[in-house]
Amino acid sequence: MADPLAGDPARDSQRRRALGVCLLLAAAVLIGGLDLPARGYESFRYAMFGFTSGLLGILYTFALASREVVWRPAGWVGVLVLVYWAAATAMMFRVLLPPPGLVQVGLAIVAAAGSGIIVSRRDREGAVLALGTVTVILAVIRFALVPVFWARSGLPNWGPVRLGASADAVRDFFVAFAPERPASQALHFLALALWVVALWLQWEPPAAAAREPDARSLSTGGE
């Protein structure tokens, strides 16, 4: 006779796996918020994601869950997993989007449109490929194009003609770039890597969850 106090081993395994994913996503949130400014007296600072990144995080979590890229277990653990996915995805957009300005507005619109492409994919691999494409585009603009634009778009001051101040105002309108130490990119890459590891850890749904659709289809066919 089975012990009534003993839990279901399959369900316990699902919960442990989901909690492991939550720990990885929490580490991604903590590391992704660290900045190492190249100027000023601060050796480091921590910044949470903003409103735009938060909305994109919720939107992409919904898109990935609808394509079953993000697996959600039943019960309160599933709700907890979705909250962690939304927070970690929002932090990833905080890392990938440029600082505030016209460039960020354009890229945020492009990223929002990319979530529609993810939802339209018929398979999980296509959805992940679309997500990876959006990620690479944002990373190239954020870490390659924006620093070059900022470094080479300045103008000198010629006596009373303050062209340099005018150039700075124009650049801030497009992107309010703040130089950071190279180690910041390593921290941000580590946060992205933790997000990817969490996605890989829950890529294959548990056997019990995979059998549920088959059981429902059999019961429907029997009716």
String of DSSP letters for 92-111: HHHHHSPSSSHHHHHHHHHH
What's the pLDDT score for residue 9? 67
What's the pLDDT score for residue 7? 57
What's the pLDDT score for residue 122? 79
What's the pLDDT score for residue 90? 95
Residue indicated by tokens 């599933």: 78
What's the pLDDT score for residue 220? 41
Report how far residue 118's alpha carbon sits from residue 66's, in angstroms, rounded to the nearest whole number: 9
What's the pLDDT score for residue 166? 60
What's the pLDDT score for residue 174? 77
Report how far residue 118's alpha carbon sits from residue 221's, in angstroms, rounded to the nearest whole number: 31
What's the pLDDT score for residue 165? 57
Q: pTM to 2 decimals?
A: 0.79
Average pLDDT per block of 10 residues along the chain, 223 residues long: 51 79 93 80 80 93 87 80 94 91 88 88 85 91 82 56 59 75 87 92 64 42 44
Report how far residue 195's alpha carbon sits from residue 131's, in angstroms, rounded to the nearest whole number: 13
